[in-house]
């Protein structure tokens, strides 16, 4: 039944498949493929550093960063986007995507404000702070996980589900940010 529903979505003939239809498969993918690197030093260090840099940001500054990001998509110069795509953590995330053999479509990490810290590829916006991938992970604490519905992703142009988790400071145990992993829907079947 799941494969039929996915085929209908891919053909544009159905509605999104709800997360609970795929929850067991997403949980298995999280436990078997993501958890072993989700708290890596590269990820934790990048988030902690950006949290210090962005300590005093207010809503207006966050909105300005998000607007700048969106204006730079496809532009010749991208001073807001480049630091997120060109750093050691982004390189680490791209390595994870490549190692997945096509099962992972994208990975990005966010700071405590919901701003992108590093991404394996371009995202459609910089601020994730108003989306479930952030509000249902970071805001809920260290053990929070969010599974999205299967949908056509704007940035990857593939049907995917997103698995989002809170990232924790290993020294304090406090939530410091979040990570979202896009998983190709066919990998969940």
Report if residue 163 sits inside a domain.
yes
167 close to 118: Cβ distance less than 8 angstroms: no
119 close to 143: Cβ distance less than 8 angstroms: no
Residue 128, domain CATH:
3.30.450.20
Report if residue 32 sits inside a domain.
yes
Report if residue 168 sits inside a domain.
yes
Report if residue 96 sits inside a domain.
yes
Report if residue 13 sits inside a domain.
no
pLDDT tens by residue, 28-77 = 999 999 999 999 999 999 999 999 999 999 999 999 999 999 999 999 99
Determine how β-strand 145-147 pairs with β-strand 151-152. Answer: unpaired
Residue 16 reports pLDDT greater than 70: no
Question: CA–CA separation, 5 vs 2, rounded Å?
Answer: 5
Report if residue 109 sits inside a domain.
yes
First to last CA, the chain: 10
Query: Domain of 106?
Result: 19-188
Question: CA–CA separation, 104 vs 187, rounded Å?
Answer: 8
The pLDDT-based confidence of 120 (bands split at 50, 70, 90) is very high
| Residue-level pLDDT at 66 | 97
Report if residue 81 sits inside a domain.
yes
How many independent structural domains does the chain possess? 1
């Amino acid at each position: 039944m799941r494969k039929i529903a996915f085929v209908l979505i891919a053909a544009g003939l159905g509605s999104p498949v709800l997360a609970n239809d795929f929850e067991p498969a997403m949980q298995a993918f999280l436990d078997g493929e993501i958890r072993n690197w989700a708290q890596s030093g590269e990820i934790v260090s990048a988030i902690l550093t950006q949290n210090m840099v962005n300590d005093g940001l207010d809503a207006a500054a966050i909105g300005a960063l998000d607007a700048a990001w969106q204006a730079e998509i496809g532009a010749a110069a991208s001073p807001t986007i480049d630091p997120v795509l060109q750093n050691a953590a982004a390189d680490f995330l791209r390595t994870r995507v490549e190692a997945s053999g096509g099962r992972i479509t994208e990975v990005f990490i966010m700071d405590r404000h919901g701003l992108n810290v590093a991404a394996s590829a371009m995202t459609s916006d910089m601020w994730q702070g108003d989306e479930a991938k952030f509000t249902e992970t970071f805001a809920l604490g260290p053990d929070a996980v969010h599974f999205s519905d299967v949908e056509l992703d704007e940035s990857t142009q593939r049907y995917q589900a997103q698995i989002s988790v809170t990232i924790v400071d290993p020294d304090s145990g406090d939530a410091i940010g979040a990570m979202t992993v896009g998983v190709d829907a066919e990998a969940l079947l």
